[in-house]
């Protein structure tokens, strides 16, 4: 073979070298941080993370192949949350998924430049995470849990299920702006429902039990549990307490009646975490979080646990059952 022909052949081989193989050699491993709110052993948080990872995989991102995912589980502890937020920022990820308000707050304290996509956050504007829903600005965007007005519907639902109720204990986390906002929305509905409210803090399970037991000493009471990481972590104790004290109870998310609570009304959280993957994908491809509008839930679900209703001596109205998306028997 002549030297000129050999060079031509070699050049042609370079051109026809499989594009996939060349891209694989030059593709940079991307990095995603994940700051969850609860414990890694909690099936609720595991389901949220699994939905996010499934969403990423459907978009072509697989942990260990073209992306590295670093996950932290603070289990509702504020100090660990701050420590893990600083750790994740220190790893210089391309983007961080933040689960709920406490995680976003800790991450923004650690950095105002690291890109953040949040899920399950209530009122991100009021919390100062974004400038507006349509134009977040800054380094964060994501998916809201619900508007405060939904909180008032929990009291309405509980009154419809238990018409004799004239008093309601409201479990909330006063350390969060969202805890205060949810309670205010419930207060706005209390007068029209002729229900007297009592606020109970959710930061310590012992404090919850003492306060709820004291509340239940008087008749015609009910229990409204607002959304917070502490309520999620203590949900089994809260549900058992409400059942033992025969208090009609209502919650913001489906996993409460699945664990024995009476009723819930709120968004499909699993869907939120799967949708969050689409924003992470867009940021990995060059878009900025401040340019991506914050999105609200697309689906709300009413769940009723008839077994719990029977244990509490309640007959669920047919009008409520007809509206239910899921009835647990």
pLDDT in tens, 60-71: 999 999 999 999
pLDDT of residue 299: 85
Lowest mean pLDDT among 5-19, 133-147, 176-190: 5-19
Domains of the chain and CATH, by start: 29-145+269-298 (3.40.50.2300), 149-267+301-328 (3.40.50.2300)
Which residues is 295 bridged to in the sheet? 143
- Average pLDDT of the chain? 90
pLDDT of residue 4: 47
Residue 14, token pair as written in the block: 């370079």
Which residues is 32 bridged to in the sheet? 69, 95
Distance (Å, whole) CA 279 – CA 96: 11
Residue 222, token pair as written in the block: 């009910």
pLDDT of residue 190: 87
Q: Which residue has the tokens 């244990």?
A: 311
Distance (Å, whole) CA 36 – CA 119: 10
% pLDDT > 70, the chain = 92
pLDDT in tens, 242-265: 999 999 999 999 999 999 999 999
6: which residues sit within 8 A by CB, 6+ positions away? none
Torsion sign, CA atoms 272, 274, 275, 279 = positive
Residue 15 confidence class, pLDDT cut points 50, 70, 90: very low
Residue-wise DSSP of 287-311: --GGGSPPB--S-EEEEEEHHHHHH
**DSSP E strand boundaries for the chain:** 30-35, 67-72, 95-99, 116-121, 140-144, 167-172, 196-201, 221-225, 249-251, 263-267, 300-305, 326-328
Name the residue among 201, 266, 259 with its Cα closest to residue 230.
Answer: 201
pLDDT of residue 229: 84
Residue 27 confidence class, pLDDT cut points 50, 70, 90: low
pLDDT in tens, 208-233: 999 999 999 999 999 999 998 889 88
Q: What's this model's pTM, rounded to 2 decimal places?
A: 0.85
Query: In 216-293, which residue ranges form alpha helices assigned H by DSSP?
Result: 229-233, 235-244, 255-258, 269-284
pLDDT in tens, 71-95: 999 998 889 999 999 999 999 999 9
pLDDT in tens, 104-149: 999 999 999 999 999 999 999 999 999 999 999 999 999 999 989 8
- pLDDT at position 18 over 80: no
- pLDDT at position 314 over 80: yes
Contact assessment for residue 51 and residue 273, using Cβ atoms and an 8 Å cutoff: yes
């Amino acid at each position: 073979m002549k030297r000129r022909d050999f060079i031509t052949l070699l050049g042609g081989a370079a051109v026809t070298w499989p594009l996939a193989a060349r891209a694989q050699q030059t593709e940079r491993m991307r990095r995603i941080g994940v700051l969850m709110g609860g414990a890694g052993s909690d099936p609720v948080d595991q389901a949220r993370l699994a939905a996010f990872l499934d969403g990423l995989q459907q978009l072509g991102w697989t942990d260990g192949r073209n992306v590295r995912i670093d996950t932290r589980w603070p289990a509702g502890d504020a100090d660990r949350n701050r420590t893990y937020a600083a750790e994740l920022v220190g790893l210089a990820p391309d983007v961080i998924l933040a689960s709920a308000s406490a995680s976003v707050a800790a991450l923004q304290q650690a950095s105002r430049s690291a890109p953040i996509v949040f899920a399950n956050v209530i009122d991100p504007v009021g919390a100062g995470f974004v400038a507006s829903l349509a134009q977040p600005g800054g380094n964060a965007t994501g998916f809201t849990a619900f508007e405060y007005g939904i909180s008032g519907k929990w009291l309405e639902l509980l009154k419809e299920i238990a018409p004799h109720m004239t008093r309601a204990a409201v479990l909330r986390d006063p350390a969060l702006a969202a805890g205060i906002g949810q309670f205010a929305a419930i207060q706005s509905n209390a007068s029209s429902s002729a229900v007297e409210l009592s606020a109970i803090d959710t930061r310590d399970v012992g404090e919850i039990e003492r306060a709820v037991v004291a509340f239940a000493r008087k008749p015609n009471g009910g229990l409204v549990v607002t959304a917070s990481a502490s309520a999620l972590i203590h949900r089994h104790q809260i549900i058992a307490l409400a059942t033992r004290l025969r208090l009609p109870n209502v919650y913001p998310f489906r996993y409460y009646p699945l664990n024995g609570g009476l009723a819930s009304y709120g968004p499909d959280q699993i869907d939120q975490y799967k949708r969050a993957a689409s924003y992470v994908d867009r940021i990995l491809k060059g878009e900025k979080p401040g340019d991506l509008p914050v999105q609200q839930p697309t689906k709300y679900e009413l769940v009723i646990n008839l077994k719990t209703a029977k244990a509490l001596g309640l007959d669920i109205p047919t009008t409520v059952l007809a509206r239910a998306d899921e009835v647990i028997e």
